[in-house]
């Protein structure tokens, strides 16, 4: 479920944004009843404080919201989301002096705070609505929020209801909504289509592996999005311990994120040609599961020694990236919940990314700051390439030693993209504790930054 704005002319209760630094001067300008009410309720403009101001008939005349300090906004994205979460049903309007960027962030915060995952319990019908702030592109923000809601819904859905077939169905529904074309190779047809590593990883599951290929747009620059769609990861024969398996429904977070981004792009009718590739599998245990010590041959002919079946994401992505490289795009973006090393390095709030293209990295980083979708560039450190070269095969899917696990995974994927600009995101895809506009659970990372950067990183 995603929230939408109220109409610009809707009757609305004003929300007065009161910065902590201006609180005393603001309070001095109020009449005695207001000062008394504010003082009695200990409202001081502290970040996130909410105070309802009564009218003579005891209805709510307006709402005061603590806007805090500049440091509060540096430490907390989407502060206004606390108002959306703390107020009851109704229609509200912003009342405060905000820059255009701050007003857009506040409006998006409200929409993102309206997200509810209600497939199994609860309802989001009573979410408060915000009157469209002046100068805000409501349609753009609603498309962004809807794309983010799609990502969250896909990740939050348990693997029993979000396997490869359901992920395909979700992609088909998105394609149908926007007039995109879709082609899917499933099961043993993957071998006929030369996707041997996708087949090897997914063949032990009861639900068949597949490669989902969606295309949209007839003109403009080309953008290919590749998303890891491991719908559940047991670790394969290198079985994960139970504690590590608990969140593995989110191992298709890369696929969910590229579908959310694709939804934004198509809803906004951006002038480009889009391709989305999703290798969708379950990494399961059965008699025909691939094994440690096996050597697989990828679509592009590179051989891969399997030293850990729990490093399967890079295998399925390799075939998809090799396919993408056969029709080079102006930009190829890979999204994957790939390594625990990335999470350990930067935590759950930053989206680490890898590219050799300095201009691309700078544009993405700047966009992330603009739209409060934080990214962090990581090094494609070429001297580490020897760590992924086992000698018995061209590549090692899980080099030993425990060093630089996210870097070596990125270097592995980089071997499969040789003809286009390339950036790889090693995301977490999960918010472990509730934050403003980001409830606990599945979350998109990097999509809004990429969307914002596209005009500058794709040729005109």
- From 52, 240, 273, 377, active-site residue: 240
Candidates 335, 358, 357; CA nearest to 413 is 335
Give CA–CA dist 187/343, Å, rounded.
Answer: 32
- From 203, 275, 314, 421, active-site residue: 314
Work out whether strand 50-54 and strand 60-68 pair parallel, antiparallel, or are unpaired. Answer: antiparallel
Candidates 4, 17, 14, 99; CA nearest to 66 is 17
314 included as an active-site residue: yes
Element (H, E) at 425: strand 421-426
240 included as an active-site residue: yes
Taking the CA atoms of 193, 196, 197 and 198 in sequence, report the sign of the dihedral they define. Answer: positive
Is 300 within 8 Å of 398 (Cβ atoms)? no
Please give the DSSP secondary-structure letter assigned to residue 434.
-
Candidates 394, 428, 393, 395; CA nearest to 409 is 395
Is 248 within 8 Å of 265 (Cβ atoms)? no
What tokens appear for 32 in the block?
Answer: 């005695």
Give CA–CA dist 296/427, Å, rounded.
Answer: 26
Give CA–CA dist 108/132, Å, rounded.
Answer: 10
Is 77 within 8 Å of 48 (Cβ atoms)? no
Residues annotated as catalytic (active site), given as ranges: 240, 314
């Amino acid at each position: 479920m995603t929230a939408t704005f109220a109409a610009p002319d809707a009757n609305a209760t004003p929300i007065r944004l009161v910065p902590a630094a201006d609180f005393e001067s603001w309070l001095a300008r109020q009449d005695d009843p207001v000062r008394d009410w504010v003082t009695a309720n200990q409202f001081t403009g502290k970040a996130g404080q909410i105070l309802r101001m009564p009218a003579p008939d005891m209805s709510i005349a307006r709402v005061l919201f603590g806007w805090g300090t500049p440091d509060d906004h540096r430490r907390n994205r989407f502060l206004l989301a606390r108002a959306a979460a703390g107020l009851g049903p109704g229609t509200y309007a912003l009342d405060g002096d905000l820059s255009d960027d701050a007003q857009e962030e506040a409006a998006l915060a409200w929409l993102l705070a309206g997200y509810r995952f209600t497939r199994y319990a609860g309802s989001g019908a009573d979410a408060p609505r915000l009157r469209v702030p002046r100068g805000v592109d409501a349609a753009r923000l609603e498309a962004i929020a809807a794309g983010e809601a799609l990502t969250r819904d896909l990740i939050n859905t348990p693997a029993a209801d979000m396997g490869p077939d359901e992920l395909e169905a979700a992609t088909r529904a998105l394609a149908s909504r926007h007039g995109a074309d879709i082609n899917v190779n499933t099961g043993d047809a993957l071998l006929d289509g030369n996707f041997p590593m996708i087949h090897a990883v997914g063949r032990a599951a009861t639900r068949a592996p597949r490669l989902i290929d969606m295309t949209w747009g007839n003109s403009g620059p080309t953008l290919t999005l590749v998303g890891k769609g491991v719908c559940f990861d047991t670790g394969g024969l290198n079985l994960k311990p139970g504690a590590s398996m608990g969140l593995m429904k989110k191992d298709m977070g890369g696929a969910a994120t590229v579908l959310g981004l694709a939804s934004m792009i198509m809803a906004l009718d951006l002038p480009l040609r889009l391709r989305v590739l999703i290798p969708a599998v379950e990494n399961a245990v059965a008699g025909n599961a691939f094994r440690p010590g096996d050597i697989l041959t990828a679509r592009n002919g590179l051989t891969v020694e399997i030293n850990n079946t729990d490093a399967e994401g890079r295998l399925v992505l390799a075939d998809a990236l090799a396919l993408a490289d056969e029709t080079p795009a102006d930009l190829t973006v890979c999204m994957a919940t790939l390594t625990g090393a990335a999470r350990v390095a930067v935590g759950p709030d930053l989206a680490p990314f890898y590219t050799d293209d300095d201009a691309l990295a700078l544009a993405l980083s700047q966009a992330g700051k603009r739209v409060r979708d934080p990214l962090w560039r990581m090094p494609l450190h070429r001297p580490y390439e020897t760590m992924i070269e086992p000698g018995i095969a061209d590549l090692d899917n899980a080099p030993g030693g425990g060093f630089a696990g996210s870097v070596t995974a990125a270097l592995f994927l980089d071997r499969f993209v040789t003809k286009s600009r390339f950036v790889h995101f090693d995301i977490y895809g999960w918010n472990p504790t509730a934050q403003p506009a980001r409830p606990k659970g599945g979350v998109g990372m990097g999509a809004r930054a990429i969307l914002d950067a596209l005009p500058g990183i794709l040729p005109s």
